[in-house]
Every structure is written in C-alpha cells, then in structure tokens.
A and B are shown apart, each in its own frame.
Chain A
Amino acid sequence: MSLTSLFNFKYLKENIKKSKAIILLCIFLVPVINVICYLMKTDNGESFVPSMFEVSMLSSLGMYVIPLIISITLFGFVYKRKSSDFVMSFPVTKKQIFLSNTLGGILIIVIMNLLNLVLILISSIFITNVFMNYRMLFDTFLIWTISYIFVFMGTNIAVSLSANKITTVVVTLLVLFLVPFVHTFIFFDSFRGNTPTIYTKCESEECKPRIYECNDDKRCEKNLENNIYMYNSYIDAMDTDYTIPYYLIVSDFAGIDNYTYDTSSVLLKMVFISILYVIMGIILFDRKKFEIVGTSFKSERVHIFVRSLTLFPILCICYVIIKHIDNYFITYLLLFVLVFAYIIIYDLVTRKKIVNVFKSLASLIIMGIIVVFIGEISDVSKNEAVILDVKDINKLTILEDMMEGSTYNKDIINYVMSIGMETGNNSEYINGIDMEVKVKNRNYKFTVMFTKQQYDKFMNLLKSDSTYVKTSKINSTDGVFAIKLGNNLYITSSSPLYKEIVSRYPKSGEFNMGKLDTDSSIFDVELCLYDDFSVKHTLFNVQNDKELMEKFVNYHNELMEKALTEDNFRIDLFYVNTGSNDIYYQYKYAGEIYDFIKKNIKEKVNVSEPFAYISLNYTSDLSHYKTAVFVTNRVDELKEILKKFDYEDETFYQNYRAYSADTDQVM
C-alpha cells in the first residue's frame, strides 16, 4: 500500500487553503491569548516559577472547542448536498479524504501548540523575573498536543456518523465522555451522594490508637471488642486515570479528584485510543452514505438510539436527585417534564421535526430502567460498611504538596494509622497531612491530624525511610532548575551560590515540610525541581550550616550594594527583623533606613553573632518593584532607629501578609 493510496496531499492543501481564515484563527487564537495572559502575570515584576497552567491558560478551554472547529471545518462538505456532491465527484477516495483531513488536523494542532511553546519561550527569554523549566514547557506542548489530537479524533468519528453539525457535537460528547461517565456513575459513591462508613481494624499493638473513646456508644464499644475503630474522614478513592478532557471536567465540576493521576500512562492511553479512533473513523467514513445530508442520521432508529445515549447522563443526574430528596410527586413530574422537553428540543434541533412521541416515550422508559438498574446494583454493593484491616495495608502515599512520596514501611503505616484512629484533643493538632493507602487494589484517602510531637516523629520516620526519600525526592537535587531564597529572591544555575546550595544539600539543611514563609527567614531555601509533569518544591533551612549562611549574607548584601547604586533608587516598603518578629514600615520611614544601610553596607557580617536584616521592595530606573535584603550585626543600633518609627497598624500588616501569600503561590 503506497502513501499516495492513503493520502492525497493536493486535496489536503486545497482543503486547508479554502478554509485558511478559520484555520489561522484556530492556530493563533489560543497561543496569542495564552501569551497575553502569561505576560500579564509577569507584568508586576514579581519573580516566580510558572506552572503548566500559567504557560497555557486558555489551552484547557481550547481543547474542547478548537479540535471540534478544525474537524468540522475540514470535513465541512459532509453537511450539505451540493458540497458533498462537489467533493465526492473528484478523483479522491473516502479513505484518502479521511486520512488526509486527519493528517491535516494533526498538523494544525501541532503547529498551534508549537506556536504556543515558541511564544512562551521567546517571552521567557526577555522576561528576567520568570524562572522557566524548559522540560516543563515541552511537556506542556506534549500534553496539550495529545489531548487536542484525542478530541480531534473523537470528533472525526462523530463526523463520520452524523450528517449535521449539531449531531456531530452531540456524538463527539458521547464518544469522549459517555464511557468514563458510566464508570463515574457506577464506581464513585461521592457522585451518587453516598458516603459509606469505613472502619479500620487493628489487631496488633503497633497500630492501636493511644486514645480512643466510645463515649457510651454501644456500637462503638462492640466494635472495639473486635479491634474495629471508627475513622470518619476516609474517602473511597479510585485509580481512575481518566483521559485529560474528561478528567478536567469531573475534577472541576464533580469534585472527583485523583491525587495519584498518572499523566504518563494517561498520555499513552490517549495515544492508543486516538489510534483506535482513526481506525474506526476510516471504517465509518468509508461506509458513510452521502445520500443523507443536513439531518441527524439516515435512520430514525439510529437517531433514537443516539438520543437515548445522550439521555443517559441526564437520567443519571435525575436518579441522584430523586435518591436524595423526599418523594415529592411534584419533583418527579418536574424532572419528567424537563427530560421530555429535552427530547423534543433535541429532535427539533437535530432533525427539524419531532420523532414519534410513543417511540420517544419507550426509549425514555428503557433508558430510565437501565439507569435505575445500574444505580441500584452499584448502590447495593456500597451500602455495606467497609473495614480496612491495617495488616492488609502495604503502601502509604503522602499526597501533600512538597512531600509527595510513598512508603512500604510497616512501622510508618502502623504509626500513621494509629494516629488516624485517635480521638484526641483537636486544639493540640498543628498540621494535617493528606494520605492514601492501598488495600486490595482499592485506594482510600484520608487526612491525618498531628500534634507537634507526633508530627516530628512522623517526619523522622519518613526521613529515615529509603523508599520514601527516593520516591519523594526530598533529598535529591536532580532536576533542580531554580532556587528560591527567603524574601522571594530566585537564583539560577549561573549563580555561584546556586552551585553551593546544590552541592551541599541535603547535608546543609534539614528538610522542612510546609509552605515557605517568605517573611520568616532569609535562610529558607526552596528547591524548584521538575519531575513527572509538575514543578515540585523541596523546602529546607540552612541555619545549621554557618559557612553557607555567610555566603547567603554576602550574596544579599552584594545585591543590596548594587541596588543602592541604581539611579532613582526608591524604597517602597520594607520590614525589619531583629531576631524575633518582623515589623513592617511604609516608605515614609525609608530615609533613615536608607542612610543606615548605605553607612554599613560594606561591613562584614558574622553569622555566629546576633544579626538583624532589612528586607525592602524598591524601584529604580533599572528595576521595578524588586526585593533586596541587607543583613547586619548592628542590631542595637537598628533597634534605636526603629524606636523612632510608629508601629504600623495591624490591618496593614495583615493585608501585606495576605498579598505576599497570594503572589507567592507556584505550582
């Protein structure tokens, strides 16, 4: 089989040429808006590490629209008698038309996403306050290209089946979403509003809770005799790995979130399904009847069948509503009227006439029975309480941002489960960590609340577990592309300090869970590394490494000295840390602080002695709203100056904190 028997490049060229305006719009619209959003994000001068979302803000929305437009444009001739006569009379086979248009669509999608990549890349070169991981940029290109192609292939199948544009959209939605929706309906209790009770069983001493009170609850006491404990916050989770177009919808709107979403396998799955779609598309398009154009389907039976499929998700939602409300007759009536109105509107839109009412009613009843049957079958299996036996738990996964990783260590598993079962005093808890355990091929998610003591012990256990250390990469510097210092200062690999930090880690500092507080210390370090389709952050503090601390101080003071020489240097806002709390000041006190910094800037700082630091935001002819830090041993002298200032009111302080937390968020 030669290439020319499969493709007709002349036809493709002409087909693209005749729709060049809309195709160019498809190619440019998303990348241009993406880059505008990206530039707006960088415009405030704040340094940041962009996430995948920030370099492709409109791409997720575009994924549902652009491939559909491309497909309908390239195959636009199938919707009208005269255009289908025109195209089909040419010496091109249906197979060639389908494959050529498929190839053309893929090319358009690749060009569009490549353009997005190039525009962001060019912008990043010229914008100095962005620290971009180029592998992430490529992965963004890969994810969206595969996702767009996947939707495009689904639409091509719809084009092969339908004879008008509205039906194409409907069939596309069915092709892409019906199967995963059925899966969601059957397997996700949360979707159906069910919350099955999940108990934990623990027979060994290692996993038993320190404190567990039944408060005269007889059932609880009986369970306790059987070593069964209540833990309310379990969620029965699934390794769904839905395709990206469906996952974005269910995670955003239906609240079904899968923390262990395996992007690599999802991409492979989408590539595989796309290939299947192409094969199906060729067969269907080759058999497509061009006698019927403009209406939904040639056969009324097929029309009713497809309409019934579209009814499935609607009836599922009706089922959930009916299941969770009181049995008001008026509700049933209202839902029935709404569903029937949908059927009539669907017929009018897709077929321009109403199909036999009795046939419609029959199809509605059949679909209703199917939905109730599926719903009841899956409800029945979920109504029984689930008992998780701790001895069956072989894997524990930490889901918390910045410390994602897994362990098979039984000591850690037992410890975490014992804490999770405790009925302790809520006021002692300092932190909650999201986790997931796998039991007999099902996943259960929960949040464990820790007291300070428990938290420290848990951290130590984790740090000593080689599997966790390896999977979480908390001790690794592989893939580090930027380092964020306290006070929102970023350094890249060109900086000598960067090399120092990377070479000394993890000996230099201690892994520190939680969000980096930009105000607390100039010795906080956040390693930004890219792995497995996301930017990860490892936090630690270098206060145990005096040599590195000195290098930090020198680095900051050198930057400050340089900043002072810039023309029209002007302090906007600053805060001073003299060893305890940070105190914020506005620019009206800046003059004396400026003089103090200028006077002492060249002085060597000894980090073994008490020190204070001033962090300020400044502008100059060269810089716009930049941060600089000055560290000094002249703590007493600084305190004397501060005494002259009025302490800023609490509102301003809180506002500033809220603002810095907001601007500091990265993926």
Chain B
Amino acid sequence: MIKIDKLSKKFDKENVLNNLTFNIRDNSIYGLVGANGAGKSTLLRIIMGIFEHDSGNITVDDEIVSNNIKLKQKMVFIPDDLFFYPGYTLLDMGKYYQSLYDGFDMNYFMELTKVFNLDTKKKISTFSKGMKRQCALICAIATNCDYMFFDETFDGLDPVIRNTMKKILIKQMNKKRTTIVMTSHNLRELEDICDNLGLLYQGGILFESEIDTIKTNMFKVQISLKGEFDRDNFKDFDLISFKKQGSVATLIIKDEEGKSKKKLEKMKPVILDFLNLTLEEVFIYEMEALGYEFNKFI
C-alpha cells in the first residue's frame, strides 16, 4: 500500500504539491488526472525516490523508498519523456532491465514483443513515438514489479494498441497482484481501466473515488411531465444538475440507496429515459457540485 501523508514539494518558490494526503491500495489501478503542471509527474518521481519532498511522509509497504533497494526492486517507473540509450535495440533494453531487476522475466518480455509485433533487433531510435512507448511499457511489465508507475501511459498509442495494452495491464494486475498508478490529463483514457481515480489540482487531491461507486451512485435522466414543471418538482431528489430545454429536462441525480428511479416513475412522466454517465460527466458534475468549473482542471 502506498501512503501519502501531508506531502509538500516546492520548486523555487512555487508550491507543486501542497499538503497532499491520500492512499493507494494494493492490487488496484489508480488513475491520477489533472491539468498540465498539476503535479502528477512530480508526485510519481517523489514516490520513486527520484525527487525529494520538502515535508510530509510517503511510504510504500510501510517503508521509505529513498535508498531502499529492496523496495525499489518492487517498483518500476516509466516517465512521460522516454529515454533509451543511443544505439540500443529493444533486446538490449530488455537485457538492461533484466540486469537490474531480479524479477525480470525474459520469456514474458519476448512474448510481449511478439504480441505487439516489435522487432527486438532493430534500433529503438528508428521506432515511431508509439512504438517507443510500447517498448518502454513492455520492459516495465516484464519486470513483474509489485508497483508500476506510468506517466502519461498511453501517450502516442493508437486505439488498437491502447486496448491491447490495457488488457495486458489488467491481466498483470490480476495475475501478479500488481498495483498500477497511471497518470493522464485525459480522463477518457483511464475510465475503462482504473479502479480508483484521483483529481490533482494545485498540488492537492481535489476529488477521489472508486470508479464503480461513482458510476452506480449517479445517473442521468431525461424527463418530461404533463404540464409545466421546474426544479422545484424534484425537491425530494439529491439533484446535482437540472437543465430544461422546451418540455424536456435533463437531470443528474445522486442516489446511493437506489430509490430515485421508482420515485420518478411514480410521477407518471410523459418521457422517462435513464442514460449512462461517462466518467468525464461524473467528474464534471461532481466538480460543479463542489463549486468548481471542471474545464479548469482538465
């Protein structure tokens, strides 16, 4: 488990992380979203022990990461800006990881290169941006580390490769009980893979929740009642949003007990449609409910 407690980090005089507190449970995929400069990459580098924090505590499996080789054997990090040694092939990179990670599985590595149809003997410098990202991810996955940290995970991958990669990561998590932390500034990229999501804003977690809970606790309704109606007609509901166009209103209702649907049906509406919310919509409405304008964050 990764525990982050009152973590702060400054660059010059600017607060990048400010009293950040949250936990990431084991065997899950945690998505960290936020606008550029929100502190996502800095947080990952601090967790990996590359950067030092100014104050607060951060532990992985109740241990401090800095200078802890045993713990770092269980952690792998792929930054947003990828690095490969000049003239190295994918096989060379695999061997490099193999020499430094005790748990590196060369057979699995070779298997993955076949899945993505990557030439292991070709210089990585000749690969496209997306292929380089695949190379880095393959190397990291083959380490079989307990904790994997991916910054801008799917940047540059085409939709097919992205889906394949997601499947592999989920498989990895299930098979090896891996904890994966991935960042993105694009919420859509993470919604179908993450168990948990955290929104980083101005160095702090503004909003955090389990994806399943968010999606099931909130729903969107298109409704039309006989005669004139307005927001007051729905006073009994935990209404997050109300928008009316003509005779049809679109409602976002928060409902943790599951009683709202029956209550709506009892109102004998002319039109009643229940629609699925995308994760982005959930975030937008949650943010609005907290008094923030979502577009500012992502």
Contact = CB atoms under 8 A, between A and B. Distances in A.
B185 interface: no
B70 to A, nearest CB: 8
Contacts of B81: 81-82, 85
A82 B67 contact: no
Interface string B74-104: 0111010111011010000000100111000
A218 interface: no
B141 interface: no
Given A18-B88, A85-B77, 18 more contacts: A13-B99, A14-B96, A14-B100, A18-B85, A18-B96, A80-B83, A84-B50, A85-B50, A85-B81, A86-B79, A89-B50, A89-B75, A89-B76, A91-B73, A91-B101, A93-B67, A96-B69, A289-B52
A452 to B, nearest CB: 71
A83 B51 CA distance: 14
Nearest to B78: A89
B88 A89 contact: no
Contacts of A91: 69, 72-73, 75, 100-101
A90 interface: yes
Contacts of A643: none
B69 A93 contact: yes
A83 B83 contact: yes
Nearest to B88: A18
Contacts of B72: 90-92
Contacts of A199: none
8 closest pairs, A vs B, by CB?
A91-B72, A89-B77, A86-B83, A82-B83, A82-B81, A18-B85, A10-B99, A88-B50
Contacts of B88: 18
A290 B50 contact: yes
Contacts of A14: 96, 99-100
B256 to A, nearest CB: 41
Contacts of B101: 90-91
Contacts of A89: 48, 50, 75-77, 79
Given A94-B67, A95-B67, A85 B100 contact: no
Contacts of A83: 83
Interface in A443-458: none
A626 B50 CA distance: 68
Given A14-B100, A93-B69, A82 B82 contact: yes
B156 interface: no
A475 B49 CA distance: 68
A90 B100 contact: yes
Contacts of A92: 69, 72, 100
B157 to A, nearest CB: 19
B10 to A, nearest CB: 10
Interface string A4-21: 000000110110001000
Contacts of B49: 88
Chain B interface mostly: loop
B83 A85 contact: yes
A252 interface: no
Nearest to B16: A291
Contacts of B76: 89
Interface of B: 11, 45, 48-52, 67, 69, 72-73, 75-77, 79, 81-83, 85-86, 88, 96, 99-101
A81 B77 CA distance: 14
Contacts of B82: 82
Interface residues of A, number: 24
A80 B86 CA distance: 14
Given A18-B88, A91-B69, A291 B48 contact: no
B153 to A, nearest CB: 15
Contacts of A10: 99-100
A88 B11 CA distance: 19
Interface string A62-83: 0000000000000000001111
B83 to A, nearest CB: 4
Contacts of A93: 67, 69
B11 to A, nearest CB: 7
B69 A85 contact: no
Nearest to B41: A85
Contacts of B85: 18
Nearest to B96: A14
Contacts of B99: 10-11, 13-14
A306 to B, nearest CB: 19
B79 A82 contact: yes
20 contacts: A11-B100, A14-B100, A18-B86, A18-B96, A83-B83, A84-B50, A85-B77, A86-B83, A88-B49, A89-B77, A90-B100, A90-B101, A91-B72, A91-B73, A91-B100, A93-B67, A93-B69, A94-B67, A96-B69, A290-B51
B109 to A, nearest CB: 16
Contacts of B79: 82, 85-86, 89
Nearest to A18: B85
Task: Please indicate which of the listed interface residues A81, A85, A88 has the most CB atoms of chain B within 10 Å of its own CB.
Answer: A85
Contacts of A86: 79, 83
A25 to B, nearest CB: 15
A94 B69 CA distance: 11
A353 to B, nearest CB: 14
B134 to A, nearest CB: 17
Task: Please indicate which of the listed interface residues A84, A89, A291 has the most CB atoms of chain B within 10 Å of its own CB.
Answer: A89
A186 to B, nearest CB: 39
A290 B52 CA distance: 9
B77 to A, nearest CB: 4
A392 B77 CA distance: 73
A80 B50 CA distance: 13
A224 B264 CA distance: 126
Nearest to A286: B67
Contacts of A290: 50-51
Nearest to A94: B67
A89 B96 CA distance: 13
A182 B268 CA distance: 95
A88 B100 contact: no
Nearest to B85: A18
Nearest to A299: B12
B173 to A, nearest CB: 20
A92 to B, nearest CB: 7
A32 B254 CA distance: 79
A86 B124 CA distance: 15
